[in-house]
Structure 1
């Protein structure tokens, strides 16, 4: 995350966060574990989601990880798409679309896809033979003009390389785009 956005959302730049974390922990930044760092940021009054963003940004600045790399050393590819329509209808259409297209995923499946749900989220998930996992979530998104929208987010985790992350990020962006072309908007 760039420093301007980090400062706008958290009140500090990456360098200021490094200085703060070293001061409150009494440790060199390279000796503060990911979880401890995130908890210190939360203790500073930052929401948990943004605390993770701060932690990841700091870890990237100090060379502990690169963009797309998780704290355990694997990589994660992500993609997102927002579509007009009722989010529950969109999710049902997505499940039908994926039942016909999940074999396009460039890594063979290690089982059948599954769906789960909560009040505010729907998930389509699949485990793959290389040990990676895909979770695609769908949630409602409010629009300024009142048009109902559904937001899809792909998280393809436990990838072994930056190259596979980049390839799979492109794949998921393309697949979400292909799905978007199949959707008929209902009002």
Structure 2
């Protein structure tokens, strides 16, 4: 069986080997708990031991456990759907990046064929979003996130995909769209 790539970072961040996490899961009866209950137990344990970003790592430990016991495939969400994402850092500032993405999305015929309906725009000082539905029904969120030195990262997240194959195919199509976009930057 392949090693889950989540495990090494979990071990480093929590200062606990994976076999100890498995014993912890047995002790709390994780096999009979849903995702939220497992994550709460893990969070409480991480908070007790002073682990930084306990909420983040609680989710990571829980998902890795669910994958370990075969309850969840890589990329699978608790509701059974799949998620895919990709990101690319650009030299553009956050607002300019989203403005240029929005213009590109409105003019690119291949991207228009992927998205269904008018996109919704929103933002804060920390992140700006372009959201749409794909023609296949899954959700698409394109975020512009600031980076050091005035640059920004474009992050595309696809949610609600029905299968691993659909996730891979959608990720490839949106990666191609992002690559075309970056060719205009």
TM-score (normalised: structure 1): 0.84
Deviates more, 1:13-22 or 1:61-70: 13-22
User: 2: distance between equivalents of 1:73 and 1:64?
Assistant: 10
Asked if the contact 1:127/1:133 (under 8 Å) is kept, the reply is: yes
Residue 138 of structure 2 corresponds to which residue in structure 1?
132
Runs of 4+ in 1 over 4 A off after TM superposition: 105-108
Cα deviations by residue, 1:128-169 (Å, 9 ceiling, x for unpaired): 344311111111012xxxx32111211111111111101111
Cα deviations by residue, 1:37-73 (Å, 9 ceiling, x for unpaired): 1112221225222221111111111100111111111
Residue number among 159, 165, 183 corresponding to 2:167 in the alignment: 165
User: 2: distance between equivalents of 1:105 and 1:30?
Assistant: 44
Deviation at 1:2, TM superposition (A): 3.7
Residue 65 of structure 2 corresponds to which residue in structure 1?
58
User: 2: distance between equivalents of 1:134 and 1:158?
Assistant: 9
Cα deviations by residue, 1:51-96 (Å, 9 ceiling, x for unpaired): 2111111111110011111111111111111111212111111111
Residue 16 of structure 2 corresponds to which residue in structure 1?
12
User: 1: distance between equivalents of 2:18 and 2:88?
Assistant: 29
User: 1: distance between equivalents of 2:72 and 2:31?
Assistant: 12
Residue number among 99, 107, 116 corresponding to 2:122 in the alignment: 116
User: 2: distance between equivalents of 1:66 and 1:20?
Assistant: 21
Q: What RMSD, in angstroms, separates the aligned Cα atoms of the two structures?
A: 1.9
Structure 2: any 5+ residue segments left out of the alignment? none
TM-score (normalised: structure 2): 0.85
Structure 1: any 5+ residue segments left out of the alignment? none
Residue number among 153, 156, 175 corresponding to 2:177 in the alignment: 175
Matched residue pairs, number? 175
SS at 2:126's partner residue? coil
Residue 87 of structure 1 corresponds to which residue in structure 2?
94
Asked if the contact 1:14/1:61 (under 8 Å) is kept, the reply is: no
Deviation at 1:107, TM superposition (A): 4.7
